[in-house]
Amino acid sequence: MLRLGRREFDAHEPVIMAIVNRTPDSFYDQGATFRDEPALARVEQAIAEGAAIIDIGGVKAGPGEEVTAEEEARRTVGFVAEVRRRHPDVVISVDTWRHEVGEAVCEAGADVLNDAWGGVDPKLAEVAARYGAGLVCTHAGGVEPRTRPHRIAYEDVMADILRVTLGLAERAVELGVRRDGIMIDPGHDFGKNTRHSLEATRRLGEMAETGWPVLVSLSNKDFVGETLDRPVKERVLGTLATTAVSAWLGAQVYRVHEVAETKQVLDMVASIAGHRPPAVARRGLA
């Protein structure tokens, strides 16, 4: 059972986390939801299309202009409060590695801290514990936030992913984070080249077998683009293929840009796996 905010999710229930970037320079949407009005419209659309979690980020993952903790908080805190006011039951996640920002957004109503940089600020897990928030424990290869990996190598990338994410998860429990609010994330592209991310996907079942809910953030990432030699805006099909494989191997939470398309993929995989009945069943019965 995964419990986030007011929601509970069964072990075989796929969960969609919709991305809402409060940045002017996101790699995918190029600032489309930087202003409040389009960002709030994006939240409405994502919920209508089936997202259970809204993941709000105030700093782009890649290199770019410096964003201070104060500026990151300015971009996210008020927005979290407004989303919470409008949607009391939606799960609100904030993508941050800074404990100061984590504290401010939890005060504003956030339910989950999405630590995409793998515990670089150890105090963030303490904030999650103090506020009863969920926590995403990510493998980022030890790289500094907002930097790209350079000639990074692993003897066994999945072994390293398991070592790091399980270590972060157990530390979080020791600090007082609720066990049923913790997710582990292999961190596609973070501290990895394309071959590493492909292997992490291929071996995702090893993460699912640990019993921790697995979150994957696959949407339109570089490993998809390099695998298919496609620019950012032409990676949806590759993303959805990777989503289907991840679902079959046991991932539960999917951080995505395309909510409606992802939901269809996840519903189809769940039905093939026997966890979801067909929406209709008329063929051969008339």
Residues annotated catalytic, as ranges = 221, 255
What count of other Cβ atoms lies within 10 Å of the Cβ of residue 44?
12
Contacts by 159-167 with C-beta closer than 8 Å and gap 24+?
Answer: 161/186, 161/187, 161/200, 161/207, 162/206, 162/207, 162/210, 164/118, 164/139, 165/137, 165/138, 165/139, 165/207, 165/212, 166/210, 166/212
As a whole number of Å, the CA-based R_g of the chain is 18
Report the relative pairing of strands 2-4 and 7-9 from DSSP bridges.
antiparallel
Given a contact cutoff of 8 angstroms between Cβ atoms, the answer to whether 23 and 76 are in contact is no
Q: Which residues pair with 54 in a beta bridge?
A: 18, 92
**What tokens does 233 get?**
């805006």
CA angle 168, 69, 160 (to 5 degrees): 25
| Strands (E) located in the chain | 2-4, 7-9, 15-21, 53-57, 91-95, 112-115, 134-138, 182-185, 215-217, 253-256
Helix, strand or coil for residue 187? coil
Report the relative pairing of strands 112-115 and 91-95 from DSSP bridges.
parallel
What count of other Cβ atoms lies within 10 Å of the Cβ of residue 6?
10
Q: Map tokens 């949806």 to a residue.
A: 236
Given a contact cutoff of 8 angstroms between Cβ atoms, the answer to whether 77 and 104 are in contact is yes
